[in-house]
Structure 1
């Protein structure tokens, strides 16, 4: 990824409520690069499905692979056919899996998407469903949707809905200084600025810390450790009341974040 002037931090943590229910992390992320571009995608599997992490993992990998392949074949992100082509690439994979595994498997292929394709000339941000993205410090939540039911790409195969991959931003790459992609759990994170970190006498701080603080890019595990710390249950003794006080983790939902930050001194 050194061909592009961005440092990358990425992490995913299990949400508090999923941990209590004994469920897996249903989020996924994938970041890859070639000489043609850098692609990053996060996804959130439908919480009501037992194995939606499967669809989320397959979805992010297929989107990233397909985007890089299209760039290698000379397609440009600003072309009107780029995102519809990516959508069809994913639906073709899911359609093949339905044929092999049966229609019942389609429920596990329900996932939201927030992604970006970065080329030397242009940067495209896109989504389907809820989540959050931020460009140069300006944060853009996606959703919520009525009934907490975001549109999923796989609805095209289940009930014929034409859910698109929607373009959220198309800007010159030279104007991109910081870009964040997050699942809807990161929306909860954005609301915690003044909340105290469990077992620490300091606030979580604003979401902008994720792209302004060097530590998240200096250590590849720093972002994961930070999110894990926020979601750790705190237990302390209240001696005056003679009881134990439990403070739950701060992130109720699975939380996944990818952050790109321009390297200092690089154009």
Structure 2
């Protein structure tokens, strides 16, 4: 079976230590939804210099998910550029309406609220693909795709398509990195760029003696992440906690900081148990 019902999905997000120290909110978001034989999942990362880009990331994750689902539902091929242009234009339409309704300079509203990256997975019947618009991380089983970094640490943003003069002169488009039969998909992990810290911390110890961080594969191999909808977030929070312990003989505190400096968001998709049996 090749539709959304053949797969399990889990997700979670945690604020990076740099954002906590600066008193800034988590600017990541994620969304996923299955409908019929289609499933779409995305993670979005708001631009760090955008004062309220968490707004665009949260709204954008939902809008992109729905527009990709709609394009697939109308018979779009996941590997076709026309499908992704339809999804891009479909996502920009509600973003444009919201931005225009907020008043003031459109360029200022976009730069403050609506700059976010997208990393996603789309499944439509017998076919699937992973796609992005911006930086992040994708794991397809043992295959790892690191997206970015971009020159001057300036990834493309979907909302540049709202501007008359987008940076670079042309509105960014979605990139399809892999297209393949959905029957070949056993697991996929989507991460914002903060997930690189998670990847590079795999052999480190969790602050406070929580054991080793471990490989990314634990997120799709361990059933608990799919049984409990908060389990991914809890694991990320454990890895990112700060711990202080007294060293009595030296009259000082020993402090351990969290391991994830940037906001970190994951969505994990795996073939459902009944589909594997």
TM range (shorter): over 0.9
Give the structure-1-normalised TM-score.
0.94
Paired residue total:
266
Matches for 1:1-267 after TM superposition, within 5 Å: 4-101=5-102, 102=104, 103=106, 104-107=108-111, 108-158=113-163, 159-160=165-166, 161-200=170-209, 202-266=211-275
SS at match of 1:150: coil
1:201 Cα deviation after fit: 5.3
1:255 Cα deviation after fit: 0.6
Query: How many Å separate the matches in 2 of 1:196 and 1:87?
Result: 41
1:265 Cα deviation after fit: 4.5
1:11–1:257 Cα contact (<8 Å) kept: yes
Deviation string, structure 1 residues 141-178 (Cα, Å, up to 9, x no partner): 11111222111122233332321110011010000000
Query: How many Å separate the matches in 2 of 1:240 and 1:15?
Result: 33
Query: How many Å separate the matches in 1 of 2:39 and 2:210?
Result: 38
1:233–1:248 Cα contact (<8 Å) kept: yes
SS at match of 2:207: coil
1:262 Cα deviation after fit: 1.0
1:190–1:207 Cα contact (<8 Å) kept: yes
1:183 Cα deviation after fit: 0.3
1:23 Cα deviation after fit: 1.4
Query: How many Å separate the matches in 2 of 1:228 and 1:47?
Result: 20
Query: How many Å separate the matches in 1 of 2:101 and 2:228?
Result: 41
SS at match of 2:63: helix
Q: Say if 1:3 and 1:116 are closer, same or farther in 2 by CA, change over 3 A.
A: closer
Query: How many Å separate the matches in 1 of 2:58 and 2:145?
Result: 24
Structure with the largest fraction of helix: 2
| Comparing 165-174 and 199-208, the one that deviates more | 199-208
Q: Say if 1:113 and 1:241 are closer, same or farther in 2 by CA, change over 3 A.
A: same
Give the structure-2-normalised TM-score.
0.91
SS at match of 2:249: coil
List gaps (5 residues or longer) in structure 2.
none
CA RMSD of aligned residues (A): 1.6
List gaps (5 residues or longer) in structure 1.
none
SS at match of 1:196: coil
